[in-house]
Amino acid sequence: MSTERTDHELLRAHVDGDPEAFGILFHRHRDRLWAVALRTMGNREDAADGLQDGLVAAYRRAATFRGDAAVTTWLHRVVVNACLDRIRAAKVRRTETLPDDLEEYRDRGSLAAAAPAADDPADLSVREERRRLVLGALAELPAEQRAALVLVDMEGYPVADAAAMLDCAVGTVKSRCSRGRARLAELLAPLLDDGSSEPDHALPRNPVCPGPVESDDAPRGPPTPA
């Protein structure tokens, strides 16, 4: 059956003219591609545009895929580059917090764990405020640093895989992550030094991997390409 074909087989079938192959390939990886675009761009509208740009580029450039990496790595590279191109073109310096509707995709891509429920409304309010501060700090990083941290610290990809997706050297990814973590440590100093004796799952892990923010809104999934 077509849905049992490998990623390489689907991409090759698309190049050979199969009208359904690329759609099957996209739906297979859409959750994680959407999560990466969402966290990289910082809001749903720009993430949808970045993802759309990336998918159009992948659709048109499929014949250039050399097969020297996994198809999913190549797809991530195209989507991340499309998002970074949009950020650079608009010279965006994000000040709003990152989106909070990733909970739906937690078990189908992102390795960030959900925060435990808080019984006390006051505790829940504090946790939500801290999550907003953490995600807001991440949004202030330069786009390249944010992309590296999203892939390595939030999505859990090995540094080598992230380097392939970002089309740069392993050392460059490590450097971007290091600088990004150092900057986040400065931005989040009030949270890290608040003297709280209990672990707070809103604080960064690894050391900067904020978990998904709980939301009262129904989560919305990634857009389907036109």
What is the architecture of the domain spanning 1-92? Orthogonal Bundle (1.10)
19-49 pLDDT, tens digit per residue, is 999 999 999 999 999 999 988 887 889 999 9
Q: Could you read off the pLDDT of 116-136 as tens digits, one per residue?
A: 444 566 666 767 777 677 677
- Best CA proximity match to 167, nearest among 91, 76, 34, 65: 76
CATH architecture of 116-215: Orthogonal Bundle (1.10)
**177-189: pLDDT as tens digits:** 999 999 988 888 8
**Averaged pLDDT of the chain:** 76
On whether the CB atoms of residues 199 and 130 are closer than 8 A, the answer is: no
Phi, psi of 116 (to 5 degrees): -65, 150
Domain ranges, ordered by start, for the chain: 1-92, 116-215
pTM of the model: 0.67
